[in-house]
Structure 1
Amino acid sequence: MKAFIVSGGKPKSSLKFYKNIINESDILIAVDKGIELYKKIDIEPDYLIGDLDSASQESIEWAESNDVEIIKYRPEKDFTDIDLAIDFAIEKNSDNIIISGFLGDRLDHIFGAILLLKKYNKLITFKEEFLEISKVPKNFEMNVKTGETWSIFSLTEKTEGIYLNGFKYSLKNGTLFFNNPIGISNETVNKTIEISYEKGCLVYFRWKNLLGVKNNA
């Protein structure tokens, strides 16, 4: 079951990109101001979640008129809106969760969202047209394009037994430390990359070398 969550950050990708994900998803969720992207492409989500402090009244009324189920929380709460949306998607039996609209001016919001990857065991991917962020499974293989920029970090104090293949800087039984992010700016040199590790937790940033992406339908 795939869920698509649009958060309240500024959309950075083409409308076609978002529409493609929507067409492949089983559950559509807007987080607060994320409802405005759905309104822009005229596709109503199944749910609108959050304290609704940043969504415009016009967008909220559009959601109401299209029978979107609205789940409103008080601003004073112990979880972020994205955290609540992920929990909700998991309650709806989603095991593959894609999140867009997470990039904005607040670096603390972005950092907090990325830290959530360690909390959940489900497949959660923060995705825009040019960037993908996700936790690395212990044995991971992906088809890529050569020349992509990848940064790999430890989300725990240290991650051990790391094996990297298909990158310019390979590793065999390596270790990455949370406080020494030397895994930044690696490069794919093969069309298939492999990552594995024995103990800890890794997260990857995959830059797809797309520049100047605009919100065009």
Structure 2
Amino acid sequence: MKEVSTVNLMVGGPQQLIPWQEVDRKANQPWVAVDYGAVRLVERGIIPQYALGDFDSSTDKQRQAVKEAVGNIQQFPPEKDYTDTQLGLLTVQRHYQYDQVCLYGATGGRLDHLLANLFLPLAPAFRQSLPKLVMRDCGNTVRFFLPGSYCLTREAGMKYLAFVNLTAVEGLTLVDEKYPLDNWNCSYPVSWTSNEFNGEENHFLFKSGIVAVIQCRDVFSTLSRKNT
């Protein structure tokens, strides 16, 4: 098992939402690519250490290019028990010992894919990755938290801060955000959207449950201008 600081996982979500400048800066880091994500990386000159999936969204020419570039490829039938993204994270867990796994291309497409990716770390098979998983696109950073007390650092360019309890939660407290919350309990998921930082660091805590924290900004008007 390879010991690394960060592993990057590229999947097949909408290309226009992938922060390509950030991806290019990480070209020399370890990459695992899933399905059409492998095509994207290879075409960009970034060679993943592992590529896997059913490759049903790739052309014969694209699949051949991936096969010629990547040393470790595993192809699955479209009918399988795991999603391609789940297979990618299983591959990361199997081959690396890591502090962080960054997931790109997981948002902005089909809603069923988005929900599957958002719920991904809740499953027992992926629970070990829950505090290490980061989902990134041009307008959002999603991290997942187990019970505890945390300090959040504001990312450059991010205006909003959201707290989403993915399970029942007890004691959710937003200590010093723009809109505070005190010792909140709930038995069903709720998204506390459009909160904001006060300063460059803010704090939150909770006693039980699983919480996703999203730093985000509006990107669709910018993307629309780029696509016209």
**TM-score scaled to structure 1, two decimals?**
0.87
After superposition, where does 1:176-187 map in structure 2 within 5 Å?
176-179=186-189, 181=190, 183-187=192-196
1:166 to 176, 190, 194: 176
Q: Aligned pair in 2 of structure 1 residues 84, 39: CA closer, same or farther (>3 Å)?
A: same
Which residue in the other structure is 2:128 paired with? Answer: 121
Q: Aligned pair in 2 of structure 1 residues 65, 184: CA closer, same or farther (>3 Å)?
A: same
Structure number having the greater helix percentage: 2
% same residue:
20
Cα separation, 2, equivalents of 1:154 and 1:62:
42
1:153 to 136, 161, 164: 164
**TM-score scaled to structure 2, two decimals?**
0.83
Residues 151 and 184, structure 1, Cα contact 8 Å, conserved in 2: yes
Deviation at 1:55, TM superposition (A): 2.1
1:37 to 40, 59, 69: 40
Cα separation, 2, equivalents of 1:116 and 1:18:
22
Count of aligned residue pairs for this structure pair:
211
- The gaps in structure 2 that reach 5 residues or longer are none
Deviation at 1:15, TM superposition (A): 2.4
2:149 to 124, 139, 157: 139
Cα separation, 2, equivalents of 1:13 and 1:105:
12
- The gaps in structure 1 that reach 5 residues or longer are none
The answer on 1:112 being equivalent to 2:116 is yes
Residues 33 and 56, structure 1, Cα contact 8 Å, conserved in 2: no
Bigger relative contact order, structure 1 or 2, given CA contacts below 8 A and separation 6+? 1
Q: What SS does structure 2 have at the residue aligned with 1:203?
A: strand
After superposition, where does 1:1-217 map in structure 2 within 5 Å?
1=4, 2-11=6-15, 12-23=17-28, 25=29, 27-95=30-98, 96-119=100-123, 120-122=127-129, 123-137=132-146, 138-144=148-154, 148-156=159-167, 158-179=168-189, 181=190, 183-208=192-217, 212=222
Residues 35 and 59, structure 1, Cα contact 8 Å, conserved in 2: no
Question: 143-152 or 112-121, which moves further after superposition?
Answer: 143-152
Cα separation, 1, equivalents of 2:110 and 2:84:
14
Cα separation, 1, equivalents of 2:176 and 2:216:
16
Deviations 1:141-169 (A, max 9, x none): 1221597212211111x211112133111
